[in-house]
A and B are shown apart, each in its own frame.
Chain A
Amino acid sequence: MNIPVDMTLSLVLLSVLFSFGSSRLPGLIKVLAFQGVVVSIVPLIIGHDMTGGGILFTLATLTIRGIVIPLCIHFAIKKVAIRREVEPIVGYHASVLAGLGLIVAAMAVSHRFNAPSISTSVLLLPTAISLLVAGMFLLIARRNAIAMVLGYIMMENGIYLVGTTFSVRALHIVEFGILLDVLAGVMIMAVILQNIKQTFDDVDTALLRTLKE
């Protein structure tokens, strides 16, 4: 048991529920920014990597996940005055209920795995699984293209949580490369979003269905 870690991770789980319930994009972006910050400080709290390089890398992650990526999306919205609702396919109340169910299921499932490094925290694996599935859920259950990008970011947060906490062996330079890739990916998505808005005057992905058999 590791109480500080579990408390931090429960904040991440709360952010998942909030993101499922939020109807407006600016709110959703704030939730994602908060989640980015919390997820990136988890390695510091677990405390298995307190070298200078480790701390520097954590700070870089914090800046990119918590500040730069949300700001990117924020400016993409602001610049083109995109409509602010997320256009759900699954309703908000149903989404929150599904989120609760997901967290319970993730808790139940993660007891089955036996990895020695998981035992540092009860909530670590359930949180990572929840983030992954929640990101998928946002990708599927929201028609707004920006909400889909946010879903992708949530998935990446989940993978980061699995990665940095389990594999002490991974080198910071490599982790940093992954982070840069994610950042560049989100930036390119933001550029595409602006172009979609200019071309279609909306970011409803129902408009993006002309190419098919």
Chain B
Amino acid sequence: MVEIVFLAPFVTGVIAFFLPRNMGRPLLVFTGALHLLLSLLLWVRQPEPLFKSYFAVTPEGMLSLLVISLLFFLISIYTVAYLKVADIKSEHIFTGSMLLFLSTMTMVTLSDHIMVMWIAIEATTLASAPLIYTHRSSASLEATWKYVLICSVGIAMALLGSVLITISMDVGKVDAPVSFSALTAVATRLDPMWLKAGFAFILVGYGTKMGLAPMHTWLPDAHSEAPSPASALLSGVLLNCAYLGIFKTNKIMLAAGLGDFSGLILMGFGLTSILAAGTFILKQTEYKRLLAYSSIENMGIIAFGTGVGGLGAYGAMLCLIHHSLIKSSLFLTSGNILLGYGSRQIEKTGNLVKQMPRTFVAFFGGFVAISGLPPFGIFIGELFVILGAFKAGHYIGVTVLVVSLCAIFAGFANQAMKISFNTSEATIGLTEKASLVWPQYVLLLTSLVLCFWIPDSLYQTIMNAVTIVSGGF
């Protein structure tokens, strides 16, 4: 019964829509805990799904699921504290959408059928749209409109890509189930032309959702207008879900011997995203948009690493896990800053170190971690990506990558220093309660610990996920 992992939050999500104002909060934490428990059970037992043609437990899916589950549990604890302070009018819609969002994202990680994957990813867009419009301002309305329209049109491209892959089966006279695992097994018999076309459309489609430039335009708006717990989910796990679609299709391409083609496109999109993010980070005036562009940068690194293959693919997987942990922690922290200073502008903040010392620790730790400095995991991930690219001989690509990373670090550091140490006369409208900071600490600590010590089963799962991509190294 694998399916229960996404059915449980679906049921509680629907219930939450009908609950009175404050009842949704305990339900949120309860579902988070239940989901974490179920995911851990799934990890240990590895049971068979009920509908085998649609769902499967894959190593890459399990990794994403575990990240989602841990993140959601911690975010739900933060959310309860956040809701007490923040002024959110229709709270039942917020909690209900959060739970449905969790359910759809879980479904993405477990789906094996190409079309079911598409259905689940489109459903994540629909479930998260109300989250972005929570504040009911004209700006959040604009962000929601852009998000829904751009992502729906983008994902429609992915649907076309999925259909093209079924055509490649028709042309190649392959009679297999339309699932990622089955197609990877018979990949060499698929028609290469249609398969390439399918991959290109899927990359553009899911790439829109993943935030790859130049289809990223919705991302900074949506991530900055959504309430911080929702931004943390959007940035921390939703982007991973879209990446999963690309990753699995890339696996088919590699098995079909078209890895050079797919790798080149992935690297191209990756570098474009890093460059685009760098341009906007340098002149950024709002801290939530700064974090959003940093997500685009990291997705670029991940796409680049996946395209490089070998060590790079392993590095990309590490970056994926650590980016989720660190970026969601940073977005939660940005929620505290927003509640404290009441503005998203960097210049309206300042002196965070004195004004909100506990938030400062989380913010500065997150900044150090996301910039790829040791001893946090992104450092190791980026190192592997760069080493992998050198090993594969992509010297121009790796030069562009390293130079942009330096520029981005400079830009990000400049803004982070302003927030932390600039003088400020602002009065802080928030008491830093424990539950508003320790979820961030736990997330950062997890990243720190995973950098030095990876449990054997986790390491094995990562290796299983990237075996085909890396071809053993």
Spell out A's residues near B (CB within 8 Å): 114-117, 132, 139, 145, 148-149, 152, 155-156, 159, 162-163, 166-167, 169-171, 174-175, 177-178, 181, 184-185, 188-189, 192, 195-196, 199-200, 208-211, 213
**Given A156-B156, A162-B163, does the pair A213, B280 have CB atoms closer than 8 Å?**
yes
* Neighbouring A residues of B118 by C-beta, 8 Å: 178
The CA of A31 and the CA of B93, in the complex, are separated in Å by: 35
Q: What would be 19 A-B contacts, judged by CB atoms less than 8 Å apart?
A: A115-B167, A115-B170, A145-B145, A163-B166, A166-B163, A166-B166, A169-B178, A174-B116, A175-B115, A185-B126, A185-B148, A185-B152, A192-B129, A192-B133, A192-B141, A196-B145, A200-B138, A210-B139, A210-B142
* Neighbouring B residues of A155 by C-beta, 8 Å: 153, 156
**Given A116-B170, A181-B123, does the pair A170, B178 have CB atoms closer than 8 Å?**
yes
* Neighbouring A residues of B149 by C-beta, 8 Å: 148-149, 152, 189
Spell out B's residues near A (CB within 8 Å): 53-54, 113, 115-116, 118-119, 122-123, 125-126, 129, 133, 138-139, 141-146, 148-149, 152-153, 156, 159-160, 163-164, 166-167, 169-171, 178, 194, 220-221, 225, 280, 283-284
The CA of A209 and the CA of B284, in the complex, are separated in Å by: 18
The CA of A199 and the CA of B166, in the complex, are separated in Å by: 44
Inter-chain contact B145/A192, CB cutoff 8 Å:
yes
The CA of A178 and the CA of B166, in the complex, are separated in Å by: 15
* Neighbouring B residues of A152 by C-beta, 8 Å: 149, 152-153, 156
Inter-chain contact A199/B160, CB cutoff 8 Å:
no
- Inter-chain residue pair count (beta carbon < 8 A): 109
In angstroms, how far is the closest chain A Cβ from the Cβ of B178?
6
* Neighbouring A residues of B54 by C-beta, 8 Å: 174
Inter-chain contact A159/B163, CB cutoff 8 Å:
yes
The CA of A139 and the CA of B220, in the complex, are separated in Å by: 21
Say which residue of B53, B143, B170 sits within 8 Å of A117 (CB atoms): B170
In angstroms, how far is the closest chain B Cβ from the Cβ of A157?
11
Inter-chain contact A178/B170, CB cutoff 8 Å:
no
* Neighbouring A residues of B167 by C-beta, 8 Å: 115, 117, 162, 166-167
The CA of A210 and the CA of B129, in the complex, are separated in Å by: 19
Main secondary structure of the interface of B (DSSP, over half): helix
Say which residue of B138, B160, B171 sits within 8 Å of A162 (CB atoms): B160
Inter-chain contact B166/A211, CB cutoff 8 Å:
no
* Neighbouring A residues of B53 by C-beta, 8 Å: 171
Inter-chain contact B119/A174, CB cutoff 8 Å:
yes
**Given A174-B115, A196-B145, does the pair A166, B160 have CB atoms closer than 8 Å?**
no
In angstroms, how far is the closest chain B Cβ from the Cβ of A39?
14
The CA of A132 and the CA of B125, in the complex, are separated in Å by: 21
The CA of A175 and the CA of B115, in the complex, are separated in Å by: 8
* Neighbouring B residues of A166 by C-beta, 8 Å: 163, 166-167, 170
Closest to B153 in A: A152
Inter-chain contact B148/A188, CB cutoff 8 Å:
yes
| Other contacts beyond A156-B156, A213-B280: 15, CB < 8 A | A115-B170, A116-B170, A159-B160, A159-B163, A169-B178, A174-B54, A174-B113, A174-B115, A178-B159, A185-B148, A192-B133, A199-B138, A208-B142, A210-B139, A211-B142
* Neighbouring A residues of B159 by C-beta, 8 Å: 159, 163, 178
* Neighbouring B residues of A181 by C-beta, 8 Å: 119, 122-123, 126
The CA of A116 and the CA of B118, in the complex, are separated in Å by: 26
Say which residue of B122, B123, B148, B169 sits within 8 Å of A189 (CB atoms): B148
Closest to A193 in B: B145
* Neighbouring B residues of A189 by C-beta, 8 Å: 148-149, 152
